[in-house]
Structure 1
Amino acid sequence: EDFGEISNFPLPIDMLDLIDLGFEIIEEITEMIKETREIDFEQIGYTFDEVEILAPIQRPRKNIIGIGLNYTEHVAESARTLDTTGKLPQKPIIFSKPPTAVTGPNTEIILNTKLTQQLDWEVELAVVIGDYGKYVPKENALDYVFGYTVINDISARDCRREGQWIVSKGQDTFAPMGPYLVTKDEIPNPHNLNLSLKLNG
């Protein structure tokens, strides 16, 4: 908001509002930043220890959609450690995490030992959809992408083995997100990224 006052531009108050303005707004904001004086940034700047980093999108409007067992190595690993079948799925396995699963980066995970004894984690690239669409042809899919962030896909593995995917994937705090959302113009090839996560710091 402070930057909006300096630039005399009505900036959105959160990421969903920014996405709603359309991808073209990113170019305008980028130009404004280039034209803003360093002394103005000093007036509105904060150091990292002065702020709390939240999830880029604290409450997605819809469930987060995930694809399960989409890596052959992961299927093999699950078969070794969880007594699941090593057979590769012939169709995509689709699961979801509700908006209530989202939490910020570096936050604590709720472990309910009545529900799981096998908490697990995986780093995942999250694709943030920026425009409405239905039945979009594959070749046009990236036109609907706003950007990318990282989600730590927390799972209760023993629940998943019992077939309870929503319990396994959808508990509160089971989707730490962020810390950043990077717009798609900054990542020309999302298939060529090194992803990592931290466990307990």
Structure 2
Amino acid sequence: MEYANQPAPVHHTHCSPTRERRARAAAGSVLALLALLTFSDTSGARQATGRLAVGTTVQAYAQMKASNPTQFIVTNKDTNMGYVNVPNSSNLVGSQLVVTTNDRAGYSLLFQVAPAMQSMFVSIEVSGLGTSVVLPATGGKVNLPYSAASNSFTLTYRFTLVKKIKDGTFAWPLTIVVHPN
């Protein structure tokens, strides 16, 4: 700055030496104060506080642990009735699921039927999800709302059979996959 290196003008005509020193001292003090305020404002600007909004997005996930039967048994009695309930005396357990998710929009369970087994069924009723749903022989998707970070389900089934099916022991026909909504 120009003012910092130059002394303030002092008139010598009517001033005594003491008065002149006081005037110079006062002028120097004023310049020092101006310099201090100038630097103080700059310093204050560097130390100014404000608000900064920071956001983040957490990737939605849904995970599942599943325990399914390993086989599907169709008896002669089942073919006569036209359906197989699971569990029953031949198929002792249904599916046990534990689903964990952070998606407040809920999640979807995709029931996939093995292609080789699709011709055996007319439909598949799934119970134990809070409501019963009827899926086509190819399977389907069930959307569930978020209710907690972890949910456990014990699923039971009614497989409605086609008319000309033969009894026998087969591989378990369903695969269940979970997806966040």
TM class, shorter-chain normalised?
A: under 0.3
TM-score, normalised on structure 2?
Answer: 0.26
Structure with greater strand share of residues: 2
TM-score, normalised on structure 1?
Answer: 0.25
Structure with greater helix share of residues: 1
Answer 1 or 2: higher relative contact order, Cα 8 Å, separation at least 6: 2
